[in-house]
Structure 1
Amino acid sequence: MKQTAYLLDPETTIFRAVELPAGISFKPIYDLIGCRLIEVVRFDERHSLFVDEEGLRDSLTAFTIFEGYPQPLAGKLVLVGGDGSEPYHSPLISLEDASAHFKCCRPVLDPVFATHDEMTAGGLIISGALMGLQVRIDRRAPTFVEGEA
């Protein structure tokens, strides 16, 4: 018998249902996330998130903000039913309802151009020339995809 889990990839912002084999093995979750060490984060009283424990240590190209959680979560996330005290099972909420709790984020570099001729310590910067880069965080709701892939 197969079970369903929800997989969120912050790189693509795609949140979709995936099949997991029935049982108590965590190997399929490790394979989905693609990491060596997982952490369990409480989603609510009936659901748990599996996340990459070491995800924030690598260079980040994208991450997820989980509503009410104090720090960003890096890497792919897997949402399952169960509070962690028993074997996991299929989520009891819809993919759409679950997606409302997440924001997929990625750092973006915006170019900053001189608006007029400027004199800096490095010399003259001509109007329209690149002066530097400004960092901002782009936040998007997950794109939920119905149906299992």
Structure 2
Amino acid sequence: MKQTGYLLDPETTIVRAVEFPAGNSYKPLYDLIGCRMIEVVRFDERHSLFVDEEGLRDGLSAFTIFEGYPQPLAGKIVLVGGDGSAPYASPLISVEDAAAYFKCCRPVLDPVFATGDEVTAGGLIIAGVLMGLQVRIERRAPTIVEGEA
């Protein structure tokens, strides 16, 4: 027998239904997320998120904001039915309803150019020359993909 869950990948912003074997084993979740340690985050009273416990690390290129949760979640996320204390089950909500709670984020570097001739302590900067980079966070709703991964 198989269970269904929803897998969100913040790198691609894709969320889709996935199947894995039913039972008490967390191994299928480790395999889907691709990590060594899993953290359980309550989604609501009937659902749980399984996330990479070590996902927030140096070199982070994408992360997820989960509405109402105080910190970003990094790495892939699996949503399943159940509160995380008993064997998990298939979600009781649609993938569209689940996706509405997430924003996939990634840092973006925007070039900053001199707008006119400027004189600085380092010398003359000519209009149009790259002066530096400015960081912003791009936020996007997950893209729902039909079918299984």
Q: 1:17-96 to 2 correspondence within 5 Å? A: 17-96=17-96
Tell me, yes or no, if structure 1 residue 113 matches structure 2 residue 113. yes
Shift of 1:123: 1.5
**Unaligned ranges ≥5, structure 1:** none
Q: Deviations over 1:52-108 (max 9, x none)?
A: 111112321000000000000000000000001210011000000000000000000
Q: Percent identity?
A: 86
Q: Number of residues paired by the alignment? A: 149
Q: Deviations over 1:25-67 (max 9, x none)?
A: 1111111111111100000000000001111123210000000
Shift of 1:141: 0.1
Question: In structure 2, what residue type is equivalent to 1:44?
Answer: D
Question: In structure 1, what residue type is equivalent to 2:11?
Answer: E
Q: CA RMSD in A?
A: 0.7
**Contact in 2 for aligned 1:95/1:146 (Cα 8 Å):** no
Question: In structure 1, what residue type is equivalent to 2:76?
Answer: K
Q: Could you tell me which residue of structure 1 aligns to residue 147 of structure 2?
A: 147
Relative to the length of structure 1, the TM-score reads 0.98
Where in structure 1 do 4 or more consecutive aligned residues deviate above 3 Å?
Answer: none
Relative to the length of structure 2, the TM-score reads 0.98
Question: In structure 1, what residue type is equivalent to 2:30?
Answer: Y
Question: In structure 2, what residue type is equivalent to 1:33?
Answer: I
